[in-house]
Amino acid sequence: LLFFACQQEDVFDVPTTLGTEENASLTTLLTQVDEGTKTMVSVSDLKGLAVSGEAIEIIADLVLKGYVVSSDATGNFYKEIYLQNDPSNPTGAMRILIDVTDSNNMFNPGREIYIDLKGLYVGEYRTGDGIVSIGALDAGENRLANIRENVAKKHMLRSATTADLTPLSVKFSEISDVHVGMMVEISDVNVISTQAGLPFVDPDDSYDTQRTLEACDGFSKSTFLLETSAFANFKQDLLPSGTGTIRGIVSKTYNGDSQS
pLDDT at 257: 57
Question: How much helix, strand and coil, in percent to the nearest 5, is found in the chain?
Answer: 15, 35, 50
pLDDT tens by residue, 69-80: 999 999 999 999
pLDDT tens by residue, 192-251: 999 999 999 999 999 899 999 999 888 888 999 999 999 999 999 999 999 999 999 999
pLDDT at 18: 67
Question: Could you tell me which of 8, 161, 119 has the C-alpha nearest to residue 72?
Answer: 8
pLDDT tens by residue, 152-192: 999 999 999 999 999 999 999 999 999 999 999 999 999 99
Residues near 18 by beta carbon (within 8 Å), at least 6 away in sequence = 26, 158, 159, 160
Does residue 154 sit in helix, strand or coil?
helix
For the cut 60, the answer to whether the pLDDT of residue 252 exceeds it is: yes
pLDDT at 256: 52
Question: Could you tell me which of 167, 168, 219, 225 has the C-alpha nearest to residue 191?
Answer: 225
Q: How much is the average pLDDT of 1-28? A: 64
Does residue 237 sit in helix, strand or coil?
coil
pLDDT at 1: 56
Residues 237/248, Cβ–Cβ less than 8 Å:
no
For the cut 50, the answer to whether the pLDDT of residue 101 exceeds it is: yes
Residues 167/120, Cβ–Cβ less than 8 Å:
no
Residues recorded for the chain: 260
Residues 126/138, Cβ–Cβ less than 8 Å:
no
As a whole number of angstroms, the distance between CA 157 and CA 87 comes to: 17
pLDDT tens by residue, 42-67: 999 999 999 988 999 999 999 999 99
Residues 59/190, Cβ–Cβ less than 8 Å:
no
- Tell me the helices (H) and strands (E) count for the chain, helix number first: 3, 16
As a whole number of angstroms, the distance between CA 144 and CA 127 comes to: 9
Question: Could you tell me which of 126, 59, 73 has the C-alpha nearest to residue 97?
Answer: 126
pLDDT at 10: 47
As a whole number of angstroms, the distance between CA 173 and CA 20 comes to: 47
Is the C-alpha dihedral spanning 214, 237, 246, 187 positive or negative? positive
Reported as a pLDDT band with limits 50, 70 and 90, residue 254 is: low
Phi-psi region for residue 27, left (φ > 0), alpha (ψ -120 to 50) or beta? alpha
